[in-house]
Amino acid sequence: MMTGQQLAAIADHICPMYAIVDPRGRIVRVGPTLRKLRPDLKWEGRRFFRVFDLSRPRRVRSMEDLVNTAGSKLHLHFRDTPQTSLKGVLVPLPEGQGAIINMSFGISVLEAVRDYDLTSADFSPTDLTIEMLYLVEAKSAAMEASRQLNLRLQGAKIAAEEQAFTDTLTGLKNRRAMDHILERLINSGRDFALMHLDLDYFKQVNDTLGHAAGDAVLQHVARVMVDCTRQSDTVARVGGDEFVLIFNDLRDARQLDGLAERLISQLEVPIPYGGKQCKISASAGTTLSVWHDGTITAAQIMNESDLALYAAKGSGRARHCFYQKGMEKDVLAQGN
């Protein structure tokens, strides 16, 4: 015949959330999982109703009432926090020695696993909770895999969009990005200035030193422009040796003229390449206005900056000009 200790060891394995209560309602022994829920509690000798509060059946007020619930489902929870809800069923022990109450978490098992860091080892091998935990783990793993996939896809999308709006040689914005930014600024009604800059003597660099030298010059030009502008401004390469600079909330002509002169001055410094010096310069045309009525278009703005650039080149290159009304007539006159 097995001893009480051996029987308790079996109970620990097949129903690890049990409590044995003596006829006076004091706890004699609890299973290992139940003990894990309150590791600092001295279980043995504590009154069952001091640890647990029985919500159903409502009529239970004493140990005798509790024993009379044998076979019925019990709804109870811990009196202290966290007040984890439990389900239970009571079986009387022979010869009036008390009762054993086997408990489970019911639908609160997920919260319990989270609150008490439980694993499958804390449940009976035949407990359906094990299957639920496996399903939850599988779902969590699938959700995490889906989240990681979404992050990678989002990253790929952002990278693709960034690539679509970036000039691969210089790392500046490209024409597509410039058009998008320009339309957004026009629609916002904000003040801005647009400078169209074209390199002088760049063709000679390509013709004499080759396209690799020309690429190195363009990359150097891009760095100079980024260094001379603010983070809120836009620098775009819109053609072979053509660049557009958009200055947010900047309409001060003196400030813009000074910036253009600084750009031109820095771009006139010879650029070393392959033991030789690449000499270029730049001409720039700027248009600035306050767009309140929404009638101005991106095409008009670009046309005004083109006319100003044409005027700068016509005045001897390495110059900067602002658009002024009437420049269209001057261009027509020069064309004739």
Tell me, yes or no, whether 137 lies in a domain.
Answer: yes
Q: Give yes or no for a cis peptide into 57 (omega within 30° of 0).
A: yes
For residues 186 and 110, membership in a common domain is answered with: no
Question: Which tens digits make up the pLDDT trace of 235-247?
Answer: 999 999 999 999 9
Rounded to 10°, the helix 109-116/128-164 angle is 80
Q: How much is the pLDDT for 50?
A: 92
Pairing of strands 192-200, 281-289: antiparallel
Tell me, yes or no, whether 169 lies in a domain.
Answer: no
Is the pLDDT at 103 greater than 80? The verdict is: yes
For residues 157 and 30, membership in a common domain is answered with: no
Number of domains in the chain: 3
Tell me, yes or no, whether 276 lies in a domain.
Answer: yes
Domain stops at, among 119, 135, 150? 119
What band does 75 get if pLDDT is binned at 50, 70 and 90?
Answer: very high
Q: How much is the pLDDT for 310?
A: 92
More confident residue, 230 or 154: 230
Tell me, yes or no, whether 273 lies in a domain.
Answer: yes
Alpha-carbon distance of 322 to 327, in angstroms, equals: 10
For residues 217 and 112, membership in a common domain is answered with: no
Tell me, yes or no, whether 148 lies in a domain.
Answer: yes
Q: How much is the pLDDT for 292?
A: 46
For residues 133 and 82, membership in a common domain is answered with: no
Tell me, yes or no, whether 170 lies in a domain.
Answer: no
Neighbours of 187 (CB within 10 A): 10
Q: How much is the pLDDT for 297?
A: 87
What band does 130 get if pLDDT is binned at 50, 70 and 90?
Answer: low
For residues 286 and 185, membership in a common domain is answered with: yes
For residues 293 and 210, membership in a common domain is answered with: yes
| Entry pTM | 0.55
Is the pLDDT at 263 greater than 90? The verdict is: yes
Tell me, yes or no, whether 145 lies in a domain.
Answer: yes
For residues 202 and 101, membership in a common domain is answered with: no
Lowest mean pLDDT segment, chosen from 230-239, 286-295, 312-321: 286-295
Question: Which tens digits make up the pLDDT trace of 177-227?
Answer: 999 999 888 888 888 999 999 999 999 999 999 999 999 999 999 999 999
The CATH number of residue 292's host domain is: 3.30.70.270
For residues 27 and 134, membership in a common domain is answered with: no
For residues 135 and 257, membership in a common domain is answered with: no
What is the DSSP annotation of 102-116? EEE-GGGHHHHHHHH
For residues 319 and 181, membership in a common domain is answered with: yes
For residues 159 and 194, membership in a common domain is answered with: no
Tell me, yes or no, whether 35 lies in a domain.
Answer: yes
Lowest mean pLDDT segment, chosen from 98-102, 138-142, 191-195, 242-246: 138-142
- 324-328-330-333 Cα dihedral, nearest 10 degrees: 180
More confident residue, 95 or 26: 26
- The contacts of residue 190 (CB under 8 Å, 6+ apart) are 248, 249
For residues 252 and 192, membership in a common domain is answered with: yes
Q: Domain of residue 88: give its range.
A: 4-119
**Cα-only R_g, the chain:** 41
Alpha-carbon distance of 75 to 55, in angstroms, equals: 6
Domain stops at, among 164, 186, 217? 164
Is the pLDDT at 336 greater than 50? The verdict is: no
- For the segment 287-316, the average pLDDT, to the nearest whole number, is 82
More confident residue, 9 or 214: 214
Is the pLDDT at 307 greater than 80? The verdict is: yes
Is the pLDDT at 266 greater than 80? The verdict is: yes
What share of the chain has pLDDT > 70, as a percent? 86
Which of 201, 200, 301 minimizes the C-alpha distance to 246? 301
